[in-house]
């Protein structure tokens, strides 16, 4: 364990951009004063974004859940239905998916997160067909979707290699992978919450393969399902090691476990302090990952706002539709003006961004704020039953 005076010197080194070891990161995570961590992380963020450090970004996207049928049965998941549960399971047809894409474009969304269960019949061909159809009708939409788990699953269903699966879905229209399925990468906590998922090493190996084939991704971490602090830092180390080789992770996005409607019992959720410490440690530890994203969906808007002072440079998305973490209890909802105001109240200038973090519009004058109040996040699990759309979107459908 690093002594108190040494902790400060490690923090100072990190704040100046020096690399810290996993052992140092663990000591800081456990023992550094919260505000000192935030201050060091903010110094790193300001240096990395010198010239635009006054800006914090957001994106408008839509999660499109194509099925909840899943053979993987993760214990933390409140979204899936096993294949034999035909009463609970559903799939969405292509016309419905394309209609949701049209609504996304209408509302100024730029990104689609195609997200669903590991359906026993969905191989590479399914994703090729759907991505090609989306790109044909909506070439302006970026398909930032799926993750290593889906790739492993679809390659197995189709009897092809992971390399071939990545190449084929990329050729069909997938632009980049979301960090889906990372959960916790170290073996013990991963087995405890997702025993049927591929190992953490395999998840990283598939992401490394994708990066090598020119398909970048983000990375995520699910906090608060019973993992230790050491396992959280080990998760970061595993990602940083791959990033040293590939440079393909654009962002790191920690988010907190939601406890409702699933099969994990007796878990203590991560506290907001643990979450803010993780945002700060991620900024200090990942000297090789550009963006650290604060999550307001699972932690609440105020904590999302605070994360901007603990090293985050981005507040993620206004999701025109989300049904996965909301099924497990995430209840926070927002619209574009609220996100703009939250960012302004954190003393930053809000900017809508693309998937690759270019600024689309910088909201530097409140008089010019967008007036379209239909851009509202919709995060109710009830939306999924029967494929009901967001009320504002229903209005669009009616027009």
Q: Tell me the sheet residues that pair with 192.
A: none
Report, in Å, the least distance between residue 150 CB and ligand SF4: 8
Find the helix packing angle between 94-106 and 391-398, rounded to 10°: 100
Contacts of 64 (CB under 8 A, 6+ apart): 92, 97, 100, 101, 112, 113, 114, 115, 321
Kindly state whether residue 117 participates in binding ligand SF4, applying the rule CB under 6 A.
yes
Angle at 379 between CA 283 and CA 273, to 5 degrees: 35
Residue 101 assigned as binding residue: no
Helix, strand, or coil (residue 376)? strand
Residue 76 assigned as binding residue: yes
Candidate residues 70, 141, 292, 315; the one interacting with ligand SF4 per rule CB under 6 A: 70
Q: Write each residue from 142 to 181 as x if it is in contact with ligand SF4 (CB under 6 A), else as -, in one continuous string.
A: -------x--------------------------------
d(CA 366, CA 243): 38
Per-residue buried b or exposed e for 82-99, using 16+ beta carbons within 10 Å of the residue's own CB? beeeeeebbbbeeeebbb
Nearer to ligand SF4, 64 or 74 (CB): 74
Residue 273 assigned as binding residue: no
Sites for ligand SF4 among residues 34-63 (CB under 6 A): none
d(CA 315, CA 217): 17
Contacts of 51 (CB under 8 A, 6+ apart): none
Residue 70 assigned as binding residue: yes
Kindly state whether residue 182 participates in binding ligand SF4, applying the rule CB under 6 A.
no
Pick the piece of the chain touching ligand SF4 (CB under 6 A) from 1-9, 67-75, 349-357, 387-395.
67-75
Kindly state whether residue 91 participates in binding ligand SF4, applying the rule CB under 6 A.
no
Pick the piece of the chain touching ligand SF4 (CB under 6 A) from 76-84, 134-142, 251-259, 344-352.
76-84
Kindly state whether residue 74 participates in binding ligand SF4, applying the rule CB under 6 A.
yes
* Phi, then psi, of 214 in degrees rounded to 5: 90, 15
Nearer to ligand SF4, 118 or 190 (CB): 118
Report, in Å, the least distance between residue 115 CB and ligand SF4: 8
- What's the Rg (C-alpha) of the chain? 20
d(CA 291, CA 311): 9
Residue 77 assigned as binding residue: yes
Sites for ligand SF4 among residues 187-246 (CB under 6 A): none
Residue found by looking up tokens 């005076």 in the block: 5
Kindly state whether residue 325 participates in binding ligand SF4, applying the rule CB under 6 A.
no
Task: Please state the residue numbers annotated as binding site for S-adenosyl-L-methionine.
Answer: 76, 183
Task: Please state the residue numbers annotated as binding site for [4Fe-4S] cluster.
Answer: 70, 74, 77
Chain positions contacting ligand SF4, by CB under 6 A: 70, 72-74, 77, 79-80, 117-118, 149
């Amino acid at each position: 364990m690093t002594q108190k005076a040494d902790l400060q010197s490690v923090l100072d080194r990190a704040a100046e951009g020096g690399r810290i070891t996993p052992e140092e990161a663990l000591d800081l995570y456990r023992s550094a004063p919260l505000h000192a961590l935030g201050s060091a992380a903010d110094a790193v963020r300001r240096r990395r974004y010198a010239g635009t450090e006054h800006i914090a970004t957001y994106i408008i996207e839509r999660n499109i859940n194509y099925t909840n049928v899943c053979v993987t049965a993760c214990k933390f998941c409140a979204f899936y239905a096993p294949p034999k549960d035909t009463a609970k399971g559903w799939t969405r047809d292509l016309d419905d998916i394309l209609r949701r894409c049209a609504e996304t474009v209408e509302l100024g969304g730029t990104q689609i997160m195609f997200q669903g269960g590991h359906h026993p019949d969905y191989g590479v061909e399914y994703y090729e067909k759907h991505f090609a159809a989306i790109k044909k009708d909506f070439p302006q939409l970026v398909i930032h979707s799926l993750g290593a788990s889906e790739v492993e699953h679809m390659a197995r269903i189709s009897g092809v290699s992971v390399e071939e699966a990545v190449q084929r879905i990329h050729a069909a229209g997938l632009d980049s992978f979301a960090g889906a399925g990372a959960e916790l990468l170290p073996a013990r906590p991963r087995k405890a919450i997702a025993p049927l998922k591929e190992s953490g090493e395999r998840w990283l190996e598939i992401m490394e393969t994708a990066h090598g084939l020119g398909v970048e991704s983000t990375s995520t971490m699910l906090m608060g399902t019973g993992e230790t602090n050491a396992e959280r830092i080990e998760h970061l180390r595993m990602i940083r090691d791959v990033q040293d080789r590939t440079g393909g992770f654009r962002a790191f996005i920690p988010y907190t476990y939601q406890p409702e409607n699933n099969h994990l019992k007796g878990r203590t959720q991560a506290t907001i302090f643990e979450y803010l410490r993780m945002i700060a440690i991620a900024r200090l530890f990942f000297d090789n990952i550009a963006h650290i994203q604060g999550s307001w969906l699972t932690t609440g808007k105020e904590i999302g706002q605070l994360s901007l002072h603990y090293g985050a440079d981005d507040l993620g998305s206004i999701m025109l539709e989300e049904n996965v973490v909301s099924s497990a209890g995430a209840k926070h909802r927002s619209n574009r003006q609220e996100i703009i105001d939250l960012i302004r109240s954190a003393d930053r200038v809000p900017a809508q961004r693309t998937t690759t973090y270019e600024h689309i519009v910088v909201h530097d004058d409140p008089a010019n704020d967008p007036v379209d109040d239909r851009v509202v996040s919709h995060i109710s699990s009830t939306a999924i039953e029967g494929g009901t759309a967001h009320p504002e979107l229903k209005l669009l459908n009616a027009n």
